[in-house]
């Protein structure tokens, strides 16, 4: 709806916003109160305008301060029709989209159908190929069966031929036997014995084959075990070589250490020699030292006794070690798993060998030390006479050395024990390895003997089984052929069954796919038919609505003609009332000048009205194409009808008031008030009149192009607003005169003059020039007049209103004139009060 209104009103030129007037008269306040008390408030009119189609480019304004009373009935039926038309358009668009979607889905379904047909063709081809393969397999099966039957017949014939040949040979042998029974009875017995021997040989051959297989398995196991042991021996030999290298390195280090110790001892001997040289001076004390030497000898003998005792202890420990070795031998017998114990024993051997070598090196070092000590003792015996002073030191060193010797002896004993254990372990490991090697050799010899026996047996059996092999070979070949044919036959059957299952599965899949596609096609066809039916129904409804809209347009045109006639009639009535009012106000010269200015403005407005009529003719032509505005126009026509009724009532009231004014004006001629007092009383009314005119004329923004129906409506609306403004002005001014400074009305002459002023105002307002001016202003400001019909204020859409520069200049020219006129009246009023 809004898009059509945009296209219809986009041709209007852009206009500039007109400034809103900041001043508000008391009449406008009174009108706002009356409007709030009216049965149809402004909100309903605003809602009706918001629902009506409006141009987005033009957002006209309406002055809230202008006096107006709108009795608008809420138009619901035309709005519902507009909504229905918009909904139908939306439904049509949705239906078109649905049709497009259904068409696309149909195309996709056709594509899928074509694909399914291609897949079915491929499946048929595959099924044909499978059938051909099945036929070929059946032909091959038949051929195989025929070949098997032929081979069976051949085998049977061969067996029969062999049986016949054997029978012939047996008959010949029987004849020969019968001929030679008497002569060769011994040969028969020999033959029986040979047959028995052959059976025995067969049994022995079976036994030998079993034994052979067992021996071969044992031999394989033995070879595996031997290989494992050989690998272990290699590993152990490598470890032993590594240990030897480590021992050599340790021996070298110990030799270096012992060499260092020897050097230290030599240094000590040198120091002792120096001490002995120093002790030569102590020759006097030789005797005492000899006694000490004898004591040393006794101590040496005691040490020798201790050595013998230690040797006895060592022998006891050796006996215990032997017992432990016996226990270890028993444990080793219990633990015959040599492969598991070899690693641990080798580790122990390595550790024991290390300890033994360490102990041997220490023993060698101790022996060297002991030898050195003995040499020193012997030297000391020869040099005791010279070294009496150093004997004490030597005794202490001897005691220390003896302690060392004892500790070394104990270590030597432990090392010897460990060495013996290690040697026993090595011996056990070597014995286990030797036993394994011997078992291996025995197994190898047994294998060789078995092979020789097998060769002998084979040679003996080959001669006996050659005939059997010839017959059995043919039977085996026939059986193998049968078996192979049966296997092939079974394979073919399994393949045929698999192919049948695959064909069944594929057929079921394609059948399901076809069923689904058929179901979807049916559903789509149903949806397409439903959419077609809906489209036809919507077309019928739309055609009916178009006919209704055309009828509404015709009715509206007729109503517009009738409204124009009524407007002309009202204009004539206004002219009559204006002539009567002008006849009553011939004596007021200052007001005539204002009337002349107003007439000049009315002339300009009449010219603008002629232009507006031309434009309205153009807009009539464009209105026929705008179907979306018809319902809004119907609503406005209804409002205009209501306004016309109200305007007629108000005109009747005004005519009554004029008659009363005429009657009172005759009585006012005989009144007591002077002309200056009349002018004084008319001053506030003139000020208000000037303010109203200035206020109204300031708020004349430019109007965009409107259709002629709207211009006609604007005429009637302005007439109604003017009449409303007049009646309300009369009421407000009457109220003022009654309540000025809290006093009641003083004289009827004041009221008469007030009514004369109001009649003049009515004359101006309802004159054709004024009407043309109003219509021109409303045509120039289409959005404002459009919103004035619905009772909206101008402040809501001030930002979007634009006015032409020429209109603004005219308004600027009119404003100072009116203000000057108002100031003059005020000055007169103040001077009269003084």
pLDDT in tens, 553-574: 788 788 778 877 877 877 787 7
Residue 831 has pLDDT above 50, yes or no: yes
- Using an 8 Å Cβ cutoff, are 280 and 386 in contact? yes
Total Cβ atoms within 10 A of residue 21: 19
420 within some domain: yes
Q: What is the mean predicted confidence (pLDDT) over 226-237? A: 74
Residue 104 has pLDDT above 80, yes or no: yes
Residue 352 has pLDDT above 50, yes or no: yes
Residue 579 has pLDDT above 70, yes or no: yes
Confidence (pLDDT) at 37: 44
Q: What is the mean predicted confidence (pLDDT) over 402-422? A: 75
Looking at the fold, whether 285 and 423 belong to one and the same domain comes out as: yes
**What percentage of the chain reaches a pLDDT higher than 70?**
54
Pick the residue with more confidence: 190 or 511? 511
pLDDT tens-digit series, residues 753-775: 555 555 555 555 545 445 445 54
Residue 711 has pLDDT above 50, yes or no: no
Pick the residue with more confidence: 690 or 484? 484
Confidence (pLDDT) at 36: 41
Confidence (pLDDT) at 480: 78
Residue 219: phi and psi, rounded to 5, are -65, -40
- Using an 8 Å Cβ cutoff, are 23 and 691 in contact? yes
Among 113, 49, 156, 216, CA closest to 521? 113
Q: Which of 471, 503, 536 is the last residue in one of the domains?
A: 471
Q: What is the mean predicted confidence (pLDDT) over 408-415? A: 75
Token pair of 717 as six digits: 């609306």
Q: For the chain, how big is the Rg over CA atoms in Å?
A: 73
When the pLDDT of each residue in the chain is averaged and rounded to a whole number, the result is 66
Pick the residue with more confidence: 296 or 384? 296
pLDDT band of 188, cuts 50, 70, 90? low
Distance CA 448, CA 212 (A): 11
Alpha helices in 335-390 (DSSP H): 338-383
Confidence (pLDDT) at 95: 78
pLDDT tens-digit series, residues 243-290: 778 877 877 887 787 778 778 777 877 777 776 676 666 666 667 767
What letter does residue 20 receive in the DSSP assignment? P
Confidence (pLDDT) at 18: 41
Confidence (pLDDT) at 7: 42
Burial of residue 195 (CB within 10 Å: 0-12, 13-18, 19+) is: exposed
Residue located via tokens 């989209």 = 97
Query: b vs e for 712-749, b when ≥16 Cβ sit within 10 Å of the residue's Cβ?
Result: bbbbbbbbbbbbbbbbbbbebbeeebeeeeeeeeeeeb
Confidence (pLDDT) at 678: 47
pLDDT band of 698, cuts 50, 70, 90? very low
pTM score: 0.18
Residue 313 has pLDDT above 50, yes or no: yes
Q: Which of 447, 471, 495 is the last residue in one of the domains?
A: 471
Q: Give the chain's end-to-end CA distance (angstroms, integer).
A: 65
Q: What is the mean predicted confidence (pLDDT) over 686-712? A: 43
Residue 21: phi and psi, rounded to 5, are -80, 135
pLDDT band of 680, cuts 50, 70, 90? very low
Q: What is the mean predicted confidence (pLDDT) over 359-365? A: 74
108 within some domain: no
pLDDT band of 15, cuts 50, 70, 90? very low
Return all residues near 801 (Cβ < 8 A) that are at least 6 apart: 15, 17, 18, 59, 60, 61, 701, 702, 781, 783, 784, 794
Pick the residue with more confidence: 76 or 405? 405
546 within some domain: no
Question: What is the 3-class SS of 466-516, one letter each residue?
Answer: HHHHHHHHHHHHHHHHHHHHHHHHHHHHHHHHHHHHHHHHHHHHHHHHHHH
Instruction: Among 354-368, 417-431, 721-735, name the one with the lowest average pLDDT.
Output: 721-735
Question: Which segment, 210-219, 541-550, 586-595, is predicted with the most confidence on average?
Answer: 541-550
Residue located via tokens 């945009």 = 6
Residue 186, classed as helix, strand or coil, is helix
Q: Which residues pair with 588 in a beta bridge?
A: none
Token pair of 354 as six digits: 């290390």
Instruction: Among 403-412, 612-621, 711-720, 737-746, name the one with the lowest average pLDDT.
Output: 737-746
Distance CA 541, CA 521 (A): 30
Distance CA 662, CA 678 (A): 17
Q: How far is CA 356 from the centre of its chain?
A: 76
Q: Which of 419, 439, 471 is the last residue in one of the domains?
A: 471
249 within some domain: yes
CA within 13 Å, CB half, 223: 10
260 within some domain: yes
Domain count of the fold of the chain? 2
- Using an 8 Å Cβ cutoff, are 150 and 494 in contact? no
716 within some domain: yes
Instruction: Among 45-54, 117-126, 137-146, 175-184, name the one with the lowest average pLDDT.
Output: 45-54
Total Cβ atoms within 10 A of residue 343: 13
Domain residues for the domain of 295 are 220-471
191 within some domain: no
For the chain, give the longest Cα–Cα distance. Answer: 206
pLDDT tens-digit series, residues 131-159: 777 777 778 777 777 877 787 777 777 87
Looking at the fold, whether 465 and 592 belong to one and the same domain comes out as: no
Q: Is the Cα dihedral 116, 119, 120, 121 positive or negative?
A: positive
Residue 57 has pLDDT above 60, yes or no: no
Looking at the fold, whether 594 and 727 belong to one and the same domain comes out as: yes
- Using an 8 Å Cβ cutoff, are 61 and 798 in contact? yes
Token pair of 135 as six digits: 């036929």
Distance CA 127, CA 502 (A): 9
Residue 646 has pLDDT above 50, yes or no: yes
Residue 590 has pLDDT above 70, yes or no: no
Confidence (pLDDT) at 465: 61
Confidence (pLDDT) at 732: 45
318 within some domain: yes
pLDDT tens-digit series, residues 781-820: 444 444 444 443 444 343 444 444 455 555 555 556 666 6
Q: What is the mean predicted confidence (pLDDT) over 417-446? A: 75
Question: Which segment, 19-33, 98-112, 374-388, 402-416, is predicted with the most confidence on average?
Answer: 98-112
Q: What is the mean predicted confidence (pLDDT) over 697-725? A: 44
Token pair of 711 as six digits: 């211009």
């Amino acid at each position: 709806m809004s898009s059509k209104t945009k296209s219809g009103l986009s041709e209007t030129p852009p206009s500039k916003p007109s400034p809103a007037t900041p001043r508000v008269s008391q009449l406008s306040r009174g009108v706002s109160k009356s409007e709030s008390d009216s049965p149809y408030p402004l909100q309903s009119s605003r809602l009706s305008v918001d629902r009506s189609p409006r141009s987005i480019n033009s957002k006209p304004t309406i002055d809230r301060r202008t006096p107006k009373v709108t009795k608008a009935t809420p138009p619901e039926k035309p709005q519902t029709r507009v909504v229905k038309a918009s909904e139908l358009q939306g439904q049509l668009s949705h239906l078109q989209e649905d049709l497009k979607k259904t068409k696309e889905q149909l195309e996709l379904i056709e594509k899928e159908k074509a694909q399914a047909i291609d897949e079915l063709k491929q499946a048929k081809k595959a099924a044909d190929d499978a059938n051909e393969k099945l036929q070929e397999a059946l032909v091959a099966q038949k051929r195989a069966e025929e070949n098997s039957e032929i081979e069976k017949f051949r085998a049977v014939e061969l067996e029969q031929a062999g049986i016949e040949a054997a029978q012939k040979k047996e008959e010949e042998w029987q004849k020969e036997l019968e001929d030679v029974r008497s002569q060769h009875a011994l040969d028969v017995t020999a033959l029986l014995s040979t047959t028995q021997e052959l059976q025995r040989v067969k049994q022995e051959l079976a036994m030998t084959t079993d034994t052979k297989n067992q021996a071969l398995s044992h031999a394989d196991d033995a070879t595996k075990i031997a290989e494992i042991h050989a690998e272990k021996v290699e590993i152990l030999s490598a470890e032993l070589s590594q240990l030897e290298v480590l021992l050599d390195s340790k021996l070298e280090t110990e030799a270096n250490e012992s060499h260092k110790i020897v050097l230290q001892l030599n240094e000590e001997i040198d120091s002792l020699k120096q001490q002995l040289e120093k002790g030569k001076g102590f020759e006097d004390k030789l005797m005492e030292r000899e006694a000490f030497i004898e004591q040393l000898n006794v101590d040496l003998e005691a040490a020798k006794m201790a050595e013998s005792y230690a040797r006895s202890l060592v022998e006891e420990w050796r006996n215990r070690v032997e017992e432990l070795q016996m226990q270890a031998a028993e444990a080793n017998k219990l633990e015959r798993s040599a492969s598991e114990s070899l690693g641990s024993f080798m580790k122990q051997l390595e550790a024991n060998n290390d300890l033994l070598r360490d102990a041997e090196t220490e023993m060698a070092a101790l022996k060297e030390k002991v030898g050195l000590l003995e040499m020193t003792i012997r030297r000391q015996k020869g040099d005791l006479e010279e070294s009496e002073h150093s004997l004490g030191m030597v005794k202490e060193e001897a005691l220390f050395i003896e302690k060392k010797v004892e500790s070394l002896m104990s270590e030597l004993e432990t090392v010897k024990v460990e060495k013996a254990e290690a040697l026993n372990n090595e011996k056990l490991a070597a014995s286990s390895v030797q036993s394994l090697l011997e078992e291996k050799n025995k197994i190898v010899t047994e294998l060789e003997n078995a092979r020789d026996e097998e060769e002998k047996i084979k040679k003996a059996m080959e001669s006996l089984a050659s005939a059997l092999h010839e017959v059995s070979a043919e039977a085996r070949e026939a059986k193998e052929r049968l078996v192979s044919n049966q296997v092939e036959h079974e394979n073919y059957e399994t393949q045929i069954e698999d192919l049948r299952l695959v064909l069944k599965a594929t057929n079921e899949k394609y059948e399901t796919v076809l069923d689904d596609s058929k179901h979807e096609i049916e559903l789509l066809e149903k949806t397409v038919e439903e959419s077609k039916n809906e489209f036809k129904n919507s077309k019928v409804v739309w055609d009916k609505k178009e006919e209704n809209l055309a009828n509404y347009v015709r009715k509206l045109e007729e109503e517009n003609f009738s409204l124009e006639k009524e407007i002309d009639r009202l204009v004539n009535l206004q002219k009559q009332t204006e002539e009567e009012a002008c006849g009553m106000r011939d004596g007021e010269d200052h007001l005539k000048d204002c009337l002349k200015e107003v007439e000049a403005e009315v002339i300009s407005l009449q010219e603008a009205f002629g232009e507006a009529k031309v434009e309205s003719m153009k807009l009539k032509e464009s209105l026929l194409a705008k179907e979306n505005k018809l319902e809004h126009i119907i609503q406005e026509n209804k409002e205009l009808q209501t306004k016309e009724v109200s305007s007629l009532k108000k005109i009747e009231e005004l005519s009554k008031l004029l008659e009363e004014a005429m009657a009172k004006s005759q009585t006012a001629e005989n009144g007591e008030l002077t002309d200056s007092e009349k002018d004084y009383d008319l001053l506030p009314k003139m000020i208000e009149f000037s303010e109203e005119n200035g206020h109204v004329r300031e708020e004349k923004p430019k109007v965009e192009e409107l259709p002629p129906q709207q211009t006609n409506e604007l005429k009637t609306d302005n007439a109604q607003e003017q009449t409303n403004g007049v009646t309300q002005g009369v009421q407000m001014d009457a109220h003022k005169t009654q309540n000025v400074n809290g006093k009641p009305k003083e004289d009827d002459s004041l009221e008469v003059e007030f009514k004369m002023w109001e009649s003049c105002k009515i004359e101006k307002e309802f004159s054709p020039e004024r009407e043309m001016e109003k219509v021109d202003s409303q045509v120039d400001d289409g959005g404002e007049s459009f919103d004035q019909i619905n009772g909206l204020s101008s402040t809501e859409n001030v930002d979007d209103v634009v006015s032409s520069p020429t209109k603004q200049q005219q308004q600027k020219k009119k404003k100072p004139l009116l203000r000057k006129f108002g100031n003059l009246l005020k000055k007169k009023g103040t001077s009269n009060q003084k």
